[in-house]
Amino acid sequence: MEDGASAEIAVVGNEGLVGISLFMGGHSTSSQAVVQAAGQGFRLDAGIMLQEFNRSGAVMHLLLRYTQALITQMAQTSVCNRHHALDQQLCRWLLLTLDRLHSNELVMTQDLLSNILGVRRASISDAAGRLQKDGLIRYERGRVTVLDRPGLEGRSCECYAVVKKEYDRLLPDIKAT
């Protein structure tokens, strides 16, 4: 937004990539990618990536399936942000993020979480406090540890399951974790 406000539209990990506008024909985007967790990433030359995509082979088909899964995630996130309680949104986001990490622990400040979900910092504090009180997470200064993943899945809205099912269907050989 003009005032600097933002909200998360998708979570990308080692199952995917940023920069799909390159092979979708737009070559640029108005959004930005923010690294939220430590790990490894690879940077590919745009020309080489586009050349491989244009060969119309396996890479193109994989990228198109990934793009379809990503669009599902973005659409579901939009619906979720409009229709579900913050606790449910936070559960969805935590689960999607955990699917892309090799740990049950995230290093996240309340400020970052509030920017990701597009809400006030105090709202994140309240929502995380409720999840902690119910034994689903442990939240200590800038660190979220998931203690009860099945419980978190139960508290999440249906949006997490919709997105996970679509990724599993379209990218069965690529696991986020």
- Domain with residue 91: its CATH number is 1.10.10.10
In a domain, 118, yes or no: yes
Per-residue confidence (pLDDT) for residue 149, from 0 to 100: 97
Residue 140 lies in a domain: yes
In a domain, 9, yes or no: no
Question: How many domains does the chain fold into?
Answer: 1
User: Is 53 a domain residue?
Assistant: yes
Span 118-134, mean pLDDT?
95
User: Which of 160, 149, 145, 138 is CA-nearest to residue 107?
Assistant: 145
Domain assignment present for 177:
no
Q: Is the pLDDT of residue 4 over 60?
A: yes
3-class DSSP state for residue 102?
Answer: coil
Q: What is the pLDDT of residues 82-105, one digit of tens each?
A: 999 999 999 999 999 999 988 899
Give the 3-state DSSP-derived string for 145-174, with helices as H, strands as E and coil as C. EECCHHHHHHHCCHHHHHHHHHHHHHCCCC
- Structural domain for 72, as ranges: 21-170
Q: Is the pLDDT of residue 176 over 70?
A: no
Give tens-digit pLDDT for 37-85: 878 888 999 999 999 999 999 999 999 999 999 999 999 999 999 999 9
Higher pLDDT among residues 70 and 9, named by residue: 70
Q: Is residue 83 part of a domain?
A: yes
Contact 114, 120 (CB under 8 A): yes
Whole-angstrom distance, CA of residue 1 vs CA of residue 92: 24
Classify residue 12: in a domain, yes or no. Answer: no
Quick: pLDDT tens for 15-31. 899 999 988 888 788 88
Q: In the structure, what pLDDT confidence band is assigned to residue 35 with cuts at 50, 70 and 90?
A: confident
| The pLDDT value given to residue 95 | 96
Q: What is the pLDDT of residue 152?
A: 97
What is the distance between the alpha carbons of residues 21 and 50, in angstroms, rounded to a whole number?
A: 11
Q: Which residues contact 74 (CB under 8 A, 6 or more apart)?
A: 9, 10
Q: Distance (Å, rounded) from C-alpha 118 to C-alpha 113? A: 8
- 106 in a structural domain: yes
- The stretch 141-165 carries a mean pLDDT of 96
* pLDDT for residue 175 is more than 70: no
Mean pLDDT of the chain: 91
- CA dist 91 and 157 (Å) reads 8
